[in-house]
Amino acid sequence: MNFSFEGGKHWSWVLGAGTLLRLTDLDGGANVGMLFYNPANLLERYNAPDTLKCQHTFKLTRGHCLYSDMGRIFCSITEDSVGWHDTVCGTTNREQVAQRWGEKSYQTHRNDWTQNGFDAFLVEGGKYGLGKRDLAANVNWFSKAAAAEDGTLQFDPTSARAGGYVELRFEMDALVLLHTCPHPLNSAREYPRHPVHAQLSKSDPVSADDFCRNSRPENGRGFANTEHYRQCAQHPAGEC
């Protein structure tokens, strides 16, 4: 199943375990903000700090797993042509967008209004009963922000190239909130409005020698937690 998103838009899905989601940066310069929740317990959400510290990484790329706050893996990154995706810079809000690019309202600009990531997440999350209190540090697919030795953050506008792709394999059911609003450190003169293609398909079963499962010993334990949860969730109480 294929989806196309213009820049500055938002959407959401509930994706079952075993789904592959492949995102492609069609023109270069794209950003996809993303958050994950357990549809069976919306209090369980993507946890960027756990994701980083469990894998001793500051960036996300192939082999990394995206952890919930319950020690389970929402999805693993099975393919990645980009090499660096950000999860520490958050998302834009209305004031930031207005300050940097000027505010284009819906009244005057219709579909070319300057949507912001925070409102986009509120709209998509609100469809499932989520609010401001449920938001968390999000992923920014295709966006690279490195830190110098003294901690200075630097956005790299050359990292997101046309045709770049990343593929996520869902290891448990997940509510996925996404937007294609600009990265908050993007300093482009015009509001960056770059299209993204999304393809949903079914994955093969995860093998014992799977790259993500074995990329770090921590991920082997994360997979064990996740598989245990799936087994228990699929059986009547007491069989697990």
Instruction: Indicate the residue among 78 and 116 with the shorter CB distance to other proteins.
Output: 116
The DSSP bridge partners found for residue 196 are 5, 25
Through-space distance between the first and last CA atoms of the chain, rounded to whole angstroms:
34
CA 221, CA 224: separation in Å to the nearest integer? Answer: 5
CA 73, CA 51: separation in Å to the nearest integer? Answer: 9
Instruction: Indicate the residue among 107 and 152 with the shorter CB distance to other proteins.
Output: 152
Residue 234 tokens read as 């699929």
CA 202, CA 20: separation in Å to the nearest integer? Answer: 6
Residues 47-106 that bind other proteins (CB under 8 A): 47-50, 52-54, 56-59, 67, 69-72, 84, 88-91, 93, 95-96
Smallest gap, in angstroms, from Cβ of residue 26 to other proteins? 25
Phi, psi dihedrals of residue 123, rounded to the nearest 5°:
-65, -50
Q: Which of 26, 98, 123, 146 binds other proteins (CB under 8 A)?
A: 146
3-state secondary structure at position 131: coil
25 to 44: interface string for other proteins, x by CB under 8 A: ------------------x-
**How many residues comprise the chain?**
240
CA 5, CA 3: separation in Å to the nearest integer? Answer: 7
Smallest gap, in angstroms, from Cβ of residue 59 to other proteins? 4
CA 174, CA 53: separation in Å to the nearest integer? Answer: 22
Instruction: Indicate the residue among 133 and 202 with the shorter CB distance to other proteins.
Output: 133
Residues 172-191 that bind other proteins (CB under 8 A): 184-185
136 belongs to the binding site for other proteins (CB under 8 A): yes
Q: Which of 25, 80, 124, 134 binds other proteins (CB under 8 A)?
A: 134
Smallest gap, in angstroms, from Cβ of residue 197 to other proteins? 26
Smallest gap, in angstroms, from Cβ of residue 56 to other proteins? 5
Count other C-beta atoms under 10 Å from residue 162's C-beta.
12
Smallest gap, in angstroms, from Cβ of residue 48 to other proteins? 7
Of residues 175, 219, 200, 203, the one with CA closest to residue 18:
203
Smallest gap, in angstroms, from Cβ of residue 54 to other proteins? 5
224 belongs to the binding site for other proteins (CB under 8 A): yes
CA 216, CA 170: separation in Å to the nearest integer? Answer: 18
Instruction: Indicate the residue among 4 and 93 with the shorter CB distance to other proteins.
Output: 93
Q: Which of 110, 133, 189, 202 binds other proteins (CB under 8 A)?
A: 133
User: How many angstroms from the chain centroid is the CA of residue 86?
Assistant: 9
Residues in contact with other proteins by the rule CB under 8 A: 43, 47-50, 52-54, 56-59, 67, 69-72, 84, 88-91, 93, 95-96, 118, 131-138, 146-153, 184-185, 218-219, 221-222, 224-225
